[in-house]
Structure 1
Amino acid sequence: MILRQFLALTQNATPERRAEAAGTLTRSYLQGTLGPEAAWEAKTALLALLDDPAAAVRRALAQACADSEQAPRPLIVALASDQPDIACLVLARSPVLMDADLVDCVAMGCEETRAAVAGRSDLSKPVAAALAEVGGAPSLIALARNPLAAIGTAALMRMVERHGDDADLRQALLTRTDLAIEVRHAIVALMAEQLSRFGQDAGWITSERGDRAAREARDAAALALSDEAEEAQLVRLVAHLRVQEQLTAGLILRAILSLRLPFAEIALAELSGLSRARVAGLMLEPHGAGFAALHRRAGLPALLLPAIRAGLTVWRDANGGRNGVDGPRLARSMIEAALTACETLPFAEARGLMALLARFEAEAARDEARILAHEQAEAQAREAAEAPILLTAPEAVDGFVSEAPSEILILSADASVSEPVLPDASAAWPLAPRPEERIGAAVRESAGEIGPDTAETVLAGLADEIMAHFLAERAAATGQLSGPAPETQPAIIPEIVVEPKRSTRPRAIAVAVAAGMIPEDLILSYRADRERQRLAA
């Protein structure tokens, strides 16, 4: 009944009307409220809609059932093989699709559908491995940016091998928190090769020098990664380097002479088949027959044995407390000892080794200089932070003495300024806010003149000694007021008389600050009042 009614309703309807009906029927079926017979008819009607020529109808089906676990599996599988914009809706979200369905869609689909699969929250390792094997750069970038995807180390290595030259993919991989240490080294090695190739193509370096720069950069990156790695990660890194044929005698020599002894121990254990504890014990006796046997068993060239022995001897003496050398100086001492040990070797045979050790020495010297410069900069910054901060004012105030000790903290970058100077009291005091900006100033409704109440409040707030000094100066100045009108008379800054006392200078400063903060119109008003009082008397 439902199937017959639905077909009759949609037989002559527009695509938009059919799409609306398809969405409504799908939601009704997924709610599970239909009876068995009605549910079967609704499911049949939904499958019949897969043949609808209008993409809007099939898209409505995909949108309605993409997130449902009750969606009919034949319907989801068919929609996953539809055109990309419809297939992506179910490929990215449907829980009905199994790993086999997703792997098949990855193998047969396009980059758009692969990117939809790569963004699934429940992506498994088999599906990720299929994407890593056949996916292009866009889908692999989407896979690397999916933090919930389970990606195996082999799949990550395959991604770097196939599309590691893509900068966006490398950036996406390096932001993953579960990135294995061997994958990180593979990315760095690939970047070193690309930079070397770029320099050779541009004609900046020769091919031989470019290859050597790439190799040494790759070795330095391996040792840098080993500094932050745990023992299990070190074992994986050494195994990866051996598989890639990058675990060379030069890398082991660099590890020993740069104090990466854990890496050297695991590398020698990997090459010789001995345990790490046994290798560590033999390295403590570099001049013994056991270490020579270890050297041969690991397949290292006999030419390196004197250099390694000399370096390990210096390291053992430092650990035994026989000398106080440590850190970068210890590395340089080991390299210098290795160079000295190689001086007795035939030049024709040891030429390459001597050149390699000379480069090691130059790198160690530069590292030591960088560390020393950094330590000096930190020490200077600490001293500057702990030093007293000095305050200076740019202008001097006439009438102040310099022999009295200062009680003001001065901010200055010039150490030659031994005596602080103060600005003119009539100018703006750099440390004091204007009267109307002070926290304790009364709020005025307009920007007019200060009223008498406010003036009396300001003057009453002055200290008695400062107030007496101020009134005496104003009384002396009233006898000199003649000629121009009071409004055109310039403000007179009182001369500060300094008494030979320790507290003279702070008192003078306080008077100057108070005088400078009192408005000019208030000073003129007080002068006029004093003149009227004198005439009235």
Structure 2
Amino acid sequence: MILRQFLTLTQNASPERRAEAAGALTRSYLQGTLGPEAAWEAKTTLLALLDDPAAAVRRALAQACADSDQAPRPLIVALASDQPDIACLVLARSPVLMDADLVDCVAMGCEETRTAVAGRLDLSKPVAAALAEVGGAPSLIALAQNPFAAIGTAALLRMVERHGDDAALRQALLARTDLAIEVRHAIVTLIAEQLSRFGQDAGWISSERGARTAREARDAAALALSDEAGEAGLARLVAHLRVQEQLTAGLMLRAVLSLRLPFAEMALAELSGLSRARVAGLMREPQGAGFSALHRRAGLPDLLLPAVRAALTVWRDSNDGRNGIDGPRLARSMIEAALTACETLPFTEARGLMALLARFEAEAARDEARILSHEQAEAQARETGEAAILLTAPAPVEVVATTAPSEILVLSPASATLEPNMPDASTAWPLAPRPEDRIGATVVSAGPDAAIVPDSAEIVLAGLADAIIAQFMADRAAASAPTPALIAAPSPEPLTEIVPELSPEPLPELSPEISAEPLPEILVAPKRIARPRAIAVAVAAGMIPEHLILSYRADRERLAA
């Protein structure tokens, strides 16, 4: 019934109307609200629409059922084999497709459909392996950039082998967090070979020297990767190097002479079939017969044995504390010992080995020089930074300007800026005075006709001796006389008697900012700041009216009589 009605309604309709009707019928079927008979007729109608000549109708079917797990499997399989723009809709998202379907589409499809498969969220290892085997660079880049794809190590190595020349693919692979150490070494080896070929094509180096440079760069990269690998990663790296026939005698010698002893132990264990613990014990006794047997069992040339023995002897003595050298010096000492051990060998046989050791010695010397230069540069940078901090630090000299007998203003070279490391009030001021009571705040006292006297004046007067009060009166009388605009030295004696901590050091030359405006009188505070209590007494004395001091002195003489 549904098929007949659909054909009647869409027989003479345009492709756009047929596509709209096909999408509506597909959504009705996927909702599951149709009865069994109606659902069967709707499914049959959808399969019949696969023969519609208009691509828009089939595209509407693919868009409607691409994300549903209730879509008819024959419909999805047929759409996956349609033209690329329709097939990609279901290949990228449909949960109905199985691995066999996807592998078949990868093998028989084009690069566009392979790229769609490579971006699936649930991509399995078999499908990834199929892509790595037949996919081109675009699909492999999409596969490498898919963080949800499960890619085996063999598939990754195959990707590097087939399309490792593509820089975008290498970058996508290196960005993966699960990249195996074997794949990283394969990428580095490929880059070294590319650089060597580039130098040869440009005429910069010969083919022999280019091949040697690529081989030594590959060995150095393998040892650098071994530093970052754990126990399992190191074992996988050594096994990979052996399969690739890159676990050579030169690599073994470089590992020993560059203090990569864990790599050397794992490599000797891989080549000899012994346990790593047994190999480590034999390497501690390089002059014994057991190490000679290990050397022969690993398949290393006999010409290499004296050099390895001499280097391991220096290393053992260093660990036992006999020579006290370590780091780059130890590596150079091991290389020098290996060179000395090879001097007694026939020149024709040891010529290649001596040349290899000489290159190792040059590399070790350059590495040692780089490390020393880096350390010296860091030390110089630290010293320069400390000197800059000392030069830019504000001077600790403070200038105290008096504009009136009862008003004191403290001026500092950093007038409005506090030091960032200034201690807080609880540590710098044990009695935690209020901000307006601290030294350096502007203090304005009442005039001589003021009726209210601060309560602290009585306490200050009680602590002053008669000689200090007399001296204070003399100082106040002297203050009323004309004074020069600027005094460059701390000549006033009365302030020294009131505050004993003040030292008679001369005042340094004032900055232009301070000396630009003339002041009535300048008093100089020393580099060492006086105690808060003593300065507070001096400040409070300037706030006490003269009539109060005279009356207090008279009362004191009357009580003493």
TM normalised by structure 2 equals 0.73
Alignment partners' CA distance in 1, 2:161 and 2:267: 24
- Taking a change above 3 Å as real, the CA distance of residues 71 and 209 of structure 1, as seen in their structure-2 partners, is same
Which residue pairs with 1:498 in the alignment?
488
Please state how far the C-alpha of 1:377 moved relative to its aligned partner. Answer: 2.4
Following superposition, the deviation at residue 391 of structure 1 comes to 5.1
Supply the AA of the counterpart residue of 1:512. Answer: I
Cα 1:104–1:334 shift into 2, 3 Å: same
Partner of 2:20: 20
**Counterpart for residue 183 of structure 1:** 183
Tell me the distance in 1 between the aligned counterparts of 2:413 and 2:176.
53
Give 1:327 deviation, angstroms.
0.9
CA distance in 1, matches of 2:361, 2:299: 25
Q: Which amino acid aligns with 2:266?
A: I
What does 1:98-247 align with in structure 2 at a 5 Å threshold?
Answer: 98-247=98-247
Kindly report which structure 2 residues correspond to 1:371-520, keeping only aligned pairs within 5 A, or say none.
371-387=371-387, 389-390=389-390, 406-407=395-396, 496-500=486-490, 505=507, 512=514, 515=517
Question: Contact 1:249 / 1:300 at 8 angstroms: preserved in 2?
Answer: yes
Equivalent residue letter for 1:61: L
Change in Cα spacing, 1:42 to 1:295, as seen in structure 2 (3 Å) is same
Deviation at 1:339, TM superposition (A): 0.5
Please say if 1:265 is aligned against 2:268.
no
The alpha carbon displacement at 1:222 in A equals 0.4
Shift of 1:430: 11
User: How far apart are 1:232 and its partner, in Å?
Assistant: 1.3
1:534 paired residue number: none
- What secondary structure does 1:3 align onto? helix
CA distance in 2, matches of 1:268, 1:302: 15
Matched, 1:366 2:366: yes
Letter in 1 for 2:26: T
Gaps of 5+ in 2: 399-411, 417-440, 446-481, 492-503, 519-561
Residues 507 and 288 (structure 1), Cα distance of their counterparts in 2 relative to 1, 3 Å cut: closer
Q: CA RMSD in A?
A: 2.8
Whether the 8 Å CA contact 2:397–2:413 is kept in 1: the answer is no
Q: Percent identity?
A: 84
SS of the equivalent of 1:389 reads helix
Instruction: Tell me how far 1:145 sits from its aligned partner.
Output: 0.5
Query: Aligned-pair distance for 1:11?
Result: 1.3
What is the rounded CA distance, in whole Å, between the counterparts of 2:392 and 2:153 in structure 1? 63
1:262 Cα deviation after fit:
0.8
Deviation at 1:379, TM superposition (A): 2.6
Deviates more, 1:236-245 or 1:135-144: 236-245
**2-structure distance, mates of 1:253, 1:364:** 14
- For residue 182 of structure 1, report the CA deviation from its aligned partner: 0.8
8 Å CA contact 2:269–2:275 kept in 1: the answer is yes
Q: Which amino acid aligns with 1:143?
A: L
Distance 2:345 2:374 in 1: 38
| Structure 2 letter corresponding to 1:46 | L
Q: 1:407: how far off?
A: 1.9
8 Å contact from structure 1 (residues 407, 506) kept in 2? no
SS of residue in 2 equivalent to 1:499: coil
Mean alpha-carbon deviation: is it higher for 374-383 or for 39-48?
A: 374-383
1:497 maps to amino acid: I
1:47 aligns with 2:37: no
Are the aligned partners of 1:27 and 1:64 in contact in 2 as well (CA < 8 Å)?
yes
Determine the structure 2 residue equivalent to 1:354: 354
Deviations 1:34-62 (A, max 9, x none): 11111111111111111111111111111
The corresponding residue for 2:478 is none
What displacement does 1:63 show? 0.9
Change (3 A) 1:275 1:78: same
Q: Distance in 1 between matches of 2:61 and 2:514?
A: 86
- Structure with greater Cα Rg: 2
Letter in 1 for 2:60: A
Q: Residue 332 and residue 3 in structure 1: after superposition, are their counterparts in 2 closer, same or farther (change >3 A)?
A: same
In structure 2, how many angstroms separate the alpha carbons of the residues matched to 1:432 and 1:30? 79
Q: CA deviation at 1:142?
A: 0.4
Q: Distance in 1 between matches of 2:333 and 2:130?
A: 51
Q: Which residues of structure 1 form unaligned runs of 5+?
A: 394-404, 410-428, 434-460, 466-475, 477-493, 517-537
Which residue of 2 is the match for residue 310 of structure 1? 310
2:470 counterpart residue number: none
Measure, in 1, the Cα distance between the counterparts of 2:210 and 2:175. 29
> Which string of whole-angstrom CA distances, capped at 9 and with x for unpartnered residues, describes residues 178-235 of structure 1?
1111111111011111110111111000000000000000000000000011111111
Q: How far apart, CA to CA, are the structure 1 residues paired with 2:65 and 2:489?
A: 95
- 1:300-340: CA deviation from partner (whole Å, max 9, x where unpaired): 11111110000000000011111211111111110010001
Q: 1:68 to 1:515 in 2, by over 3 A?
A: farther
- Which digits, 9 at most, give the CA deviation of each residue in 1:410-451, with x for residues without a partner? xxxxxxxxxxxxxxxxxxx99778xxxxxxxxxxxxxxxxxx
Q: 1:372 to 1:392 in 2, by over 3 A?
A: closer
The verdict on how the C-alpha distance between 1:496 and 1:263 changes in structure 2, with shifts beyond 3 A counting, is same
TM-fit CA distance, 1:392: 6.2
